Structure 1
């Protein structure tokens, strides 16, 4: 249930981005505490403490590759107030929302958008960057090592490539929720893994890759690789925004994994996502949201 922003060409052409944009936006806003922690960490990797002490700013260019509607792009603009930020995404509708968001937040003078899709589109026209951030994007590229190398090659000396991939699966409900069979979450995890493997194998240019992200960053010529995991813990009872997010994610899981779940679990998901059902996420006092995202980073020499 962690996959919301597909970037393979086949997935991209089938998506209704106007419809999906509010879901992506809500997800990113909900996860803002995690992204703020990640930005604080990246500032330390880029010499943030020294910059603040000296009143200088060496971070002048930041890219968000696979930006979606620009929530994190705008967060990065605030974290690096002297930088021009560039939202890079293949979906014009999402880039339009990113521009609108930047304007509402007073960031338009430092905010650009660039329509491009990894790995086929050339990023050379953008020049280079001090920080390149990409979240849940590279696993949608057939050749992940080539994608890492492509992005690493656009860094300025001392620049950082930050790849947010992996972490822990979302946790949203207890093991026994009183309807269906106990252990639904575990079966959703298994279905997601199977769906993910099939998705990866069908990508253009697919190459089997050991997802050792520090090793991939090192192989791309980056040094001082590091990783940090950031936690989002929203305990029960949830507010309406979090409940809406979980309901949307479960509805999407029911659609994506329909052939990988049995009839009992499909019926359980129907009840969980029906706001008229008292057993749904909309009414449950035991629904929570716990997740973790890992960010891997490497520095250009």
Structure 2
């Protein structure tokens, strides 16, 4: 099971049962996701209604560590247990921890969170689940398991993105205006049965699992990409990942999409200067009842 926001859907799928061969491409988009959205993730962490600085943190479906390192940036004395089903992602996370000099504060655990029993994750003060809950095969089981391991005054933070980000202006590309809307609609239909909890309201499910919601936050994101090369690479990676889910698109739309994805083309998305990252995050923060 992997983490993080954006690209989860179409490649990533970010699926939990990720095979090693897909790790490197997925890891790259996760790293770009972390880079582009860093300020927003830091703001969410700052908002969390914590009663004191957490000392023990679990990052569920950590991916390559976007949440892990953002949390350590805010709580440098904490120790983070990063849990993921991808050995490649965890290796990358460990390498980053060493490069940043925080390896003594990070431990990784290889585990599939859809398994009936989880490895011992201690008694964390904070459990962080970013972009991962909608991938769970049995989210009610996940919620109950988190409740059981959380410290008595601990906090569980669920962060979800409103689908995939939008990158293009509405009138783009010139020959197929509105292409991105149609790609997203096709992707939504593709995932409707595969990921039934995509876009869910986690508040009622948290209550049913024995939590009390302590706060809910929605953050609109609109980042200008005209002077940020990372956003072009992020857009390219995200659209490449959802290309496989867009097979029902009209032939003309597929042709236009492939032209955007062709990095050797003058129409490549990497050559555009009108990109942005537009989406929103919703956060639920909950404590045990």
* TM-score (structure 1 length as normaliser): 0.86
Q: Deviations over 1:113-155 (max 9, x none)?
A: 0111112063351221110001121211222222112112210
Larger Rg: 1
What CA distance in whole angstroms lies between the structure 1 residues aligned with 2:183 and 2:104? 44
Pair 132,226 (structure 1): closer, same or farther in 2 beyond 3 Å: same
CA distance in 2, matches of 1:246, 1:271: 14
For 1:219 and 1:210, how far apart are their aligned partners in 2? Answer: 18
SS in structure 2 at match of 1:126? coil
- Give the CA deviation at 1:238: 4.0
Q: Which residue of 1 aligns with 2:50?
A: 46
Correspondences of 1:14-163 after superposition (within 5 Å):
16-42=22-48, 45-48=49-52, 57=53, 59-120=54-115, 122-163=117-158
TM superposition shift of 1:249: 1.3
Alignment correspondent of 1:291: 279
Q: Which residue of 1 aligns with 2:243?
A: 254
Separation in 2, partners of 1:31, 1:142: 27
Name the CA shift for 1:8/1:242 in 2 (closer, same or farther; >3 Å).
closer
2:204 aligns with 215
Match of 2:220 among 231, 254, 272: 231
**2:61, 2:129 within 8 Å by CA — same for their partners in 1?**
yes
Q: Deviations over 1:4-48 (max 9, x none)?
A: 544655x42475213321221111121111110111012xx1125
Asked whether the equivalents of residues 21 and 94 of structure 1 are also in contact (C-alpha less than 8 Å), the reply is: yes
Secondary structure at the residue paired with 1:129? coil
SS at match of 1:294: strand
Query: For residue 263 of structure 2, what is the aligned residue in structure 1?
Result: 275
Q: Deviations over 1:167-195 (max 9, x none)?
A: 36422111212433321121122112111
List runs of 5+ in structure 1 lacking aligned partners.
Answer: 49-56, 202-207
Question: Normalising by structure 2, what TM-score?
Answer: 0.89
Does the CA-based 8 Å contact 2:259-2:267 persist in structure 1?
yes
SS of the equivalent of 2:153 reads strand
Structure 2, gaps ≥5 residues long: 1-5
Q: Is the 8 A contact 2:225 2:232 kept in 1?
A: no
Change (3 A) 1:2 1:8: closer
Q: CA deviation at 1:231?
A: 3.4
Runs of 4+ in structure 1 over 6 Å off: none
2:199 and 2:235 map into 1 onto residues whose CA distance is 30
RMSD: 2.2
Q: How many positions carry a matched residue from both structures?
A: 282
Give the structure 2 partner of residue 204 of structure 1: none
Q: Distance in 1 between matches of 2:200 and 2:159?
A: 12
Distance 1:187 1:287, change over 3 A: same
1:269 is paired with a residue of what secondary structure? helix
